[in-house]
Amino acid sequence: MQAHEDTTSPPAGGSELLAAQPIARITRDGVEFVLLGTAHVSRASVEAVREMLATESFDAVAVELCEPRYKSMRDPESFRNMDLFQIIRQGKAGLVAANLALSAFQRRLAEQFGIEPGAEMKAAIDGAEQRSLPVWLIDREVGITLKRAIRSVGFLERMGIVGGLAASLVTRDDVEESEIEKLKEGDMLGSMFNEFAKESPPLFEALIAERDRYMTARLREESIDAGAAGTPPKRVLAVIGAGHLAGIRQALETQDSPPQELQQGLAQLPPGSPWPRRIGLGLFIAIAVAIAVLFYRGTEFGADALWVWILCTGVGAAIGTFAAGGHPLSALTAFVVAPLKPFRPGVPVGAASAGVEVWMHRPRVADFDSLRDDVIHWTGWWKNRISRTLLVFVLTNLGMTLGVWIAGFQIFKSLL
């Protein structure tokens, strides 16, 4: 391996615009990687990308996108292919909702300044295609990043992630354009969970540091593959969020493991902590034992405890469904299914209520067309049938969880 840093500024004669951008030039294994740091909702970043492509020659352009995000950017109507039943059945409703929240956060900032979300990435892709240059997609899938982030932290930090997503939808304060440029000091994901990422090394590792190493490995792999195909690149432009520039620059200088091996390790989902499942199972067992003890004391005591369980879990789940704007039949389904939780491990009550919601309020073509715009504003999540179904899944499960703890408290109190 041979790598060295050439400079951190544009070449002689570069414009003031490029001089103001975070740029690093690293040569490794005969390839010069020009790292252009951007803010994902910045006019200056878009112009910097265009000027860089116009004033310098490159053999390839790498962008901080994964395959799904690239397809979504190139085909804005890709949401039309969403199969809600399949998403619910596979338990991915929460993840899809998180992705929509991330997209809404970025689109809201972009809407304020009249610029398309990810416009600098689109400018890089368009510029590469105009020059017949290959486009390398180097980022890790956002779903994997979120799952690794969630599994790397404890309960309170997980709630912080959920709170960050929710706050991004509710907060409506305008952001100064100078503040948008400050996003070049960070990353879009990192900015949403900024305070938690600062205080949580595992969260920072999953959201930022791991992606630095993953994107570096992708750059190396693409360079190797291009060389094996007979077209070894000499200069590559990498358009990345500026929060990743320092990490990728360092990784290019030091990374020596095989790139495919690195990617595989960083794309695997670590096993989830067994403690949440154990605690949940322990709680159900404790409640079941408590109800049995109360039945032993007297049928009336046991029956009362059983009704407490049914009403607390059923009503909690139904309230969650109604809070999401669900159909009465969706809420009734939640009420009936929630008390059966011990007999259906691994199947969330939200899946049942959301399935009925899709059946009762089938998404219309207009819902798919307006989904991206509706979720920018928090009220739009209840207006659009697709996002409302996702809310039914999430809030029904939340209501059920609260009901379980309330029921447990009441039943244990009856033993005293």
- The last residue of one of the domains, among 267, 293, 328, is 267
- The last residue of one of the domains, among 243, 267, 291, is 267
Structure tokens at 255: 């990374």
12 pLDDT band, cuts 50/70/90, is very low
Q: Are residues 88 and 164 in the same domain?
A: yes
Pairing of the two strands 23-28 and 3-7:
antiparallel
Q: Are residues 154 and 181 in the same domain?
A: yes
Q: Are residues 121 and 84 in the same domain?
A: yes
Q: Are residues 246 and 376 in the same domain?
A: no
CA atoms within a 13 Å half-sphere pointing along the CA-CB vector of 28: 25
pLDDT at 174: 54
Among 141, 127, 139, smallest CA distance to 61 is for: 127
Of 111 and 121, more confident: 121
- The last residue of one of the domains, among 245, 267, 289, is 267
13 pLDDT band, cuts 50/70/90, is very low
Q: Are residues 80 and 9 in the same domain?
A: yes
Q: Are residues 330 and 406 in the same domain?
A: yes
Query: What tens digit of pLDDT does each residue of 343-357 get?
Result: 666 678 999 999 999
Structure tokens at 127: 């510029």
Distance between CA atoms of residues 50 and 68, nearest Å: 24
pLDDT at 165: 64
pLDDT at 169: 59
Q: Are residues 302 and 369 in the same domain?
A: yes
CA atoms within a 13 Å half-sphere pointing along the CA-CB vector of 261: 4
Q: Are residues 304 and 395 in the same domain?
A: yes
pLDDT at 143: 81
Taken as a whole, the chain contains a residue count of 416
Res 118 pLDDT > 90: no
202 pLDDT band, cuts 50/70/90, is confident
Res 195 pLDDT > 90: no
Of 81 and 255, more confident: 255
Backbone angles phi, psi at 134, to 5 degrees: -70, 145
Q: Which H/E stretch holds residue 193? A: none
Distance between CA atoms of residues 266 and 259, nearest Å: 11
Q: Are residues 9 and 143 in the same domain?
A: yes
Tell me if residue 57 falls in helix, strand or coil: coil
Domain that holds residue 380: 274-415
Radius of gyration, CA atoms only, the chain: 25
What does DSSP assign to residue 30?
Answer: T
Please state which of the ranges 104-113, 220-229, 256-265, 289-298 shows the lowest mean pLDDT. 104-113
Arithmetic mean of pLDDT, 263-270: 88
Strand ranges for 92-203 from DSSP E: 135-137
Arithmetic mean of pLDDT, 377-401: 89
Q: Which H/E stretch holds residue 354? A: helix 349-360
Tell me if residue 71 falls in helix, strand or coil: helix
Query: What tens digit of pLDDT does each residue of 292-317 get?
Result: 999 999 999 999 999 999 999 999 99
Among 276, 256, 260, 108, smallest CA distance to 192 is for: 108
Please state which of the ranges 113-122, 188-197, 238-247, 267-276 shows the lowest mean pLDDT. 188-197
Domain count, the chain: 2
Q: Are residues 299 and 216 in the same domain?
A: no
140 pLDDT band, cuts 50/70/90, is very high
Distance between CA atoms of residues 192 and 210, nearest Å: 17
pLDDT at 282: 84
Burial class (CB in 10 A: 0-12, 13-18, 19+), 81: exposed
Give 61's strand partners.
135, 237
The whole model's pTM is what? 0.73
Q: Are 34 and 51 in contact (CB under 8 A)?
A: no
Q: Are residues 344 and 230 in the same domain?
A: no
Among 211, 274, 283, smallest CA distance to 244 is for: 211
